[in-house]
Structure 1
Amino acid sequence: MSHEHGKSLSNVHSSITTDNKTGWRRLMAFIGPAYLISVGYMDPGNWATDIAGGSAFGYKLIWVLFVSNLVALLLQSLAARLGIVRGLDLAQASKNAYPRFANFFLYLLAQIAIIACDLAEIIGMAIGLKLLFNLPLIWGVSLTLTDTILMLFLMNRGMRKLEGFIISMIFIIGVSFLVEMFIVQPDIKEIAKGFIPTNLFKSDHATQQMLYITIGIIGATVMPHNLYLHSSLVQTRRITKTDEGIKTAIKFNLFDTTIALNLAFFVNAAILILAAGAFFRNGYFEVAEIKDAYKLLEHIFGKVAPTLFAIALIASGQSSTVTGTLAGQIIMEGHINLRIEPWLRRLLTRLLAIVPAMFTIIYFGEDGLGKLIILSQVVLSLQLGFAVIPLIHFVSDRKRMGIFSISNKVKLLAWACAVLILGLNAKLVIDQIKDWIAAYPQSGVLIYGLVVPITIAVGVLLIYVFLRPLLFKHKDMPAQVPHGLATAITDLAPIIYKTIGITIDFSKNDKDCIRHAIMQGGKRAHYKLIHVVETAGARYYGTDTMDHETQSDVDNLEKYVTSMQELGYHAESKIGFGRAAKSIAQIVKDEQIEFLVMGSHGHKALKDLIFGTTVNSVRHKVNIPVLVVKPQ
């Protein structure tokens, strides 16, 4: 089994202990990651597609939800397996397997998917605020920027607090729809018939419309960024890296995934059943707008049902926005090796999603938002192949997964799911281009000159992503981590301290930092070598995370310690997780360090804003002398 370097979300990597627990307590230690995943399966995008499907076709598309849930369960379990066994998230594994240009385009497509997902959450939140408080949609869209504050607050409170918030939101959604089912009183026999599949490959207009909504449901259910997220989240649990320990972790995470995704299925089914029972049964066949659904619920059932509907909608959008940001950081770090501050990452994603929402409201009115949500879910589905195909390749790799590579039966089932998704997407794209050509003959030059070449290019990239791992072997390169540089400050009078801390960033300047530290303490002092893991995972999960980057950093830090001990110095390692300044200050306090040697990244102005500052923050958090080794 290969042990690649590079930790995903290292500030929370292996931050939750599982080995010292037994029975149900051990199971509960693993419960959590899949619930963060499941909120993406019940976000406002799902609401739009489920309402459109239920109002237009009654209970006929329940089978699509059921099949989508089974596909999601399989793919999410594979993503969890990848993270547990190899200690890599999907983006990091892709960076090892594909060349730089391919990773750039994979990142770009994944980022488009996250923006599409965020777009649905923005619109859903804005609609929920309008329904409850009669707030204009354009104001509601603008106010969604403020949820960045809530997200950062939750993430700073720790992984368990974040998981608790998400589970509370799921509880609100579930209770709301449970009450609504009693109000609507759906037809149980018709629901049962809805589990019988319908032919989606006819050429008539009704079937084509059903296919469009079906693909929207698939895109809203099997979300590509959730595969990246799950492969990282499972690494927040500290496990014993033995065959038995890994096997146990896979088993408990499968329980977690099965329970959470089945809850998401029941919520989605409840939305579709609500639409079918309330609208389709009463002759309202084209309720694609969430706000129209609210008004009709009020018209048919009074004020209780629509109020519950709006509350659940806000809870859905608010919980989904947290996981979208987390996935964005994982994708950025994994594919293109770029790490920026979480607040800036969140702000950029939200702004990119707000622009099309604002544009739609201004130029097409509020009625265009419902169609925009469904379109966003179709975009998610079209991106699925670029996440699913690499994932299947990685978990099938006997060399790197060892005995935990998937069996031939599971591999066949996984590829069948991929073929189903790609086949439906291909049919949708071809039909859509044909419709555009027929509806807009005057735009033929634009369609043939721009749309068709882009479609072909995306198709070629998809084929390349499929063939590359089969035709070319790759070496497991260490995942690069964006650490800064450090050089030495000279001509300082040596002062002896009993306990000296040295921050390490694994650059060529570490030696200078250590040399200047021993100038102060000689062989009488005790040296604490400090390194903080700052990946997206570590930021959000703290000590719960133990991915490959964390393990690699621990091993590298021990090499420094061993070298110093061989030279006769008293040295030991200290690993921190999350925000560097906070972690370093806490270690200084806990270890009663008297003198601290740090390397400066040398960022200025804009770079300080983007990447954050560490030295200045640490200086304000500690009350001991700090020696800063700056770049010349």
Structure 2
Amino acid sequence: MPSLSEVHRSIPVPSVKGFWRKFLAYAGPGYLVSVGYVDPGNWATDIAGGSKFGYALLSVILLSNLMAILLQTLCVRLGVATGRDLAQMCREAFSPRVSFILWVLCELAIAACDFAELLGSAIALQLLFGLPLVWGVCLMGLDVIVLLLLQKKGFRYIEALVITLVGTIALCFLAEVIFSRPDFGGILQGYFPKAEIVQNSEMLYLAIAILGATVMPHNLYLHSAIVQTRAWEPTIEKKREAIKFSTLDSTVALWFALLINSAILIVAAATFHTSGHYEVAEIQDAYKLLSPLMGVGAASAIFAFALLASGQSSTLTATLAGQIVMEGFLNLRLRPWVRRLATRLIALVPALITIIFFGEQSTGKLLVFSQVVLSLQLSFAVIPLVMFTSDRRLMGTFVNPFWLKLLSWAVALLIAGVNAWLLWETAIGWLTR
């Protein structure tokens, strides 16, 4: 049985010719994936990176986004060519023990992601309405009701809500960039990589966090499943068309995510770094400083509203990803509200413990750490994805061409190598204390 069977092949694709009608029919899944690239975890890493190092880490955002476009393209190819998602393919290809380990790792990644979304939404409620962070965390645990209502109405309603929220975030940060009056020469230089990023351990840590916040492992499982919500005809020609338009959908959506992520870091660099506020790592501190430093009264409120939109859009996709990996790896199907409640409780407990015992000032560092955890999990999803899409027996005529195999393995090795380097640097740091 396919994952998310209630929406599998539920959205019709027009049979008539016409680019825009086909494009609109396939548009949607890419935006559900893209919200994971602009969630509160991204905010924490981008704000910390921009305030500490100015525009220097824009190159990491660009590189991460290019890798994300490539990997999401592979997800499209896998889902369309095989009719199965990445989790199902892992269950079929690997032993039960290996599949179980991969499932546990993916669940940890989803929990880390959901933790960031939960905390980000609670922080937004605190900034906008003065609601205590503990109560905000508890209140956000009830957002499962929204998802359940939308799922009953149809998958297009979920897509429409997410696209609206992404558009809201984009408009908010367009305004923030205008208010911050950034140095466009510095922005251009920031998109060119620097050796210092690898040589400076603190900069490397934030770069890894940005990578983990951008290329999320559970998004790979999610995309390979939701691309199958479209009812294309199972012929070679129609599958090729589905890959073409679904890839275009995700590429356009991820370029929007790149612009939003860049805007967050640019605002932090132009507002905090240039004014000497190098240690702004907490979202709450950024909120307090934005209006005074920019000289625009509404800047902080716009920032908080965009944060709320970010947290709520991301939490919808984390729930769907959790349902997909449980069905795919374990062939176990739970009621959506049970699955959602389980995911949220796993994130709720550490969030409350952090706030109660370590204080609200610790949330920024924990958000960044959660994104590093995501990055460390990434290879366990990327390597199987590249393996499967490079196997002609599985993919047939849609197997990765040689240049794509080469590029995909290069990205997989780069991700694994950078994470290994971070672990080595961390171990050396502990040993030399």
TM-score range, shorter chain: over 0.9
Equivalent residue for 1:312?
306
Please give the secondary structure, in 2, of the residue aligned with 1:288: coil
Equivalent residue for 1:249?
242
Structure 2, unaligned runs of 5 or more: none
Could you give the per-residue CA deviations for residues 49-105 of structure 1, whole angstroms, max 9, x where no partner exists? 000110011001111100100000000010011000100000000001000000110
| Distance in 1 of aligned mates of 2:334 and 2:247 | 32
Equivalent residue for 1:550?
none
Structure 1, unaligned runs of 5 or more: 1-5, 440-632
CA contact (8 A) 2:79 2:85 kept: yes
| Distance in 1 of aligned mates of 2:141 and 2:2 | 30
Question: How many equivalent residue pairs?
Answer: 431
Q: Within the alignment, does 1:90 sit opposite 2:86 as a pair?
A: yes
Equivalent residue for 1:36?
32
Equivalent residue for 1:347?
341
| Distance in 1 of aligned mates of 2:48 and 2:102 | 30
1:202 Cα deviation after fit: 5.4
| Distance in 2 of aligned mates of 1:406 and 1:252 | 17
Equivalent residue for 2:149?
153
**2:276 aligned to which of 247, 264, 283:** 283
- Aligned pairs (5 A) from 1:343-422: 343-422=337-416
Equivalent residue for 2:57?
61
- Taking structure 1 as the reference length, the TM-score comes to 0.67
Q: Within the alignment, does 1:107 sit opposite 2:103 as a pair?
A: yes
- Aligned pairs (5 A) from 1:578-593: none
Q: Within the alignment, does 1:195 sit opposite 2:188 as a pair?
A: no
**1:338 aligned to which of 328, 332, 337:** 332
Q: Residue type matched to 1:397 in 2?
A: D
- Flag the structure with higher strand content: 1
Q: Residue type matched to 2:411 in 1?
A: C
Please give the secondary structure, in 1, of the residue aligned with 2:122: helix
CA contact (8 A) 1:16 1:237 kept: yes
- Flag the structure with higher helix content: 2
1:148 Cα deviation after fit: 0.9
Equivalent residue for 2:207?
214
The 4+ residue runs of structure 1 with deviation greater than 4 A are 200-203
Could you give the per-residue CA deviations for residues 363-390 of structure 1, whole angstroms, max 9, x where no partner exists? 1110111111000000000000000000
Please give the secondary structure, in 1, of the residue aligned with 2:10: strand
Q: Within the alignment, does 1:134 sit opposite 2:127 as a pair?
A: no
CA contact (8 A) 1:200 1:208 kept: no
1:432 Cα deviation after fit: 1.4
Percent identity among equivalent residues? 53
Equivalent residue for 2:428?
434
Equivalent residue for 1:540?
none
Cα distance change of structure 1 residues 306 and 42 upon mapping to structure 2, 3 Å threshold: same
CA contact (8 A) 2:198 2:204 kept: no
1:27 Cα deviation after fit: 1.2
| Distance in 2 of aligned mates of 1:176 and 1:370 | 21
Equivalent residue for 2:291?
298
1:201 Cα deviation after fit: 6.8
1:303 Cα deviation after fit: 2.4
Greater relative contact order structure (CA < 8 Å, 6+ sep):
2
Could you give the per-residue CA deviations for residues 499-547 of structure 1, whole angstroms, max 9, x where no partner exists? xxxxxxxxxxxxxxxxxxxxxxxxxxxxxxxxxxxxxxxxxxxxxxxxx
**1:80 aligned to which of 76, 98, 105:** 76
| Distance in 2 of aligned mates of 1:373 and 1:51 | 11
Could you give the per-residue CA deviations for residues 324-353 of structure 1, whole angstroms, max 9, x where no partner exists? 010001100111111111111111111111
- Aligned pairs (5 A) from 1:174-193: 174-193=170-189
Equivalent residue for 1:22?
17
1:200 Cα deviation after fit: 4.9
CA contact (8 A) 1:219 1:382 kept: yes
Equivalent residue for 1:117?
113
1:397 Cα deviation after fit: 0.7
Equivalent residue for 1:545?
none
| Distance in 1 of aligned mates of 2:163 and 2:321 | 18
| Distance in 1 of aligned mates of 2:339 and 2:142 | 14
Root mean square deviation of aligned Cα = 1.0
| Distance in 2 of aligned mates of 1:437 and 1:144 | 40
